Amino acid sequence: MSLGLDSRVYIVTAGSRGLGFAGAKFLVEQGAHVVVAARDEQVLANSIKELGGHERAVGLASDLTDPATAERLTAAAIARFGRLDGCLISSGGPPAGSAMNVTDDEWRTAFESVFLGPLRVAKAAAAAMEPHPGDVSGTCGSIVFVLSTSARVPLPSMAISNGIRPGLAAAVKDLADSLGQRGIRVNGLMPGRIATDRVFALDARNGSPERTRIKAEAGIPLGRYGEPEEFAKAAGFLLSPMASYITGAVIPVDGGSTPAW
């Protein structure tokens, strides 16, 4: 079944690796074009090649802490592909640590990159979106924030994520309410333990990553870590016109590990 993503254009931040890259790859496989933002120019260049080159994807070396990044990404999408239909907004995960030992500078940097930077991208993208010629639902575009299950349940030794993600999840609903009249949908995804380098690095903090994974999988109802491609399919669905009546939702992609409210 086609998701109707062919010829649509999306911004993907933190898109050169991990969940962002998986999302960009799925979008391209479904026929979309992507503007990918990431900080590391060489990794970004390699990712653009994997995505099919400049016919399908454009890379923009950028940092979400830079206030100019949001407008640059939007302008790049319009200049290269002629329109913008949405964005998948991810950011590098904040450093681990308890509320007693993370520094003020770490909090400030994380707020810029995890909260304020993504919010700027969403606002700039929304201002540039127009109805797609193939849409009959009245939907103008779709914005998906990549959050974390810490938006709902605090994670051990992840004080910054625990402090910032819930606020961004609330901002998802606020944006959805504000932009709904224009037909722009806004949703969030809360990935749990997905098999990315970021998760493996966090596992390694506790000694043997293999033992950490076995212990973690015992608490996941599906009994395993998720694959980046599984997350990407959920993101692609929410970005697509197939999800035309879903907005203001924050949805876990975690194998059932997050307790219900």
Does residue 27 sit within a domain?
yes
| The pLDDT value given to residue 92 | 83
Instruction: Give the distance from CA 186 to its chain's centroid.
Output: 12
Q: Rounded CA gap, 16 and 25, in Å?
A: 10
Report CA-CA distances (Å) from 140 to 223, 258, 261: 38, 32, 31
In a domain, 224, yes or no: yes
Evaluate whether residue 20 is within a structural domain: yes
For residue 217, give the CATH number of its domain. 3.40.50.720
| pLDDT for residue 138 | 65
- State how many domains the chain has: 1
Whether 258 is in a domain gets the answer no
pLDDT digits (tens, 9 = 90+) for 19-65: 999 999 999 999 999 999 999 999 999 999 999 999 999 999 999 99
The residues, ordered by sequence, that sit 6+ positions from 177 with a Cβ below 8 Å of its Cβ are 248
- pLDDT for residue 244: 94
Buried/exposed code over 194-232 (b: 16+ C-beta within 10 A; e: otherwise): bebeebeebbeeeeeeeebbeebeeebeeeebbebeebb
Asked whether residue 4 is domain-assigned, the answer is: no
* Residue 261 forms part of a structural domain: no
Of 83, 195, 167, 182, whose CA–CA distance to 132 is shortest?
A: 83
Whether 260 maps to a domain, the answer reads: no
Given a contact cutoff of 8 angstroms between Cβ atoms, the answer to whether 235 and 26 are in contact is yes
Instruction: Name the residue with tokens 């640059």.
Output: 72
Give the chain's residues under pLDDT 70: 1, 134, 136-138, 261
Domain range spanning residue 224? Answer: 9-252
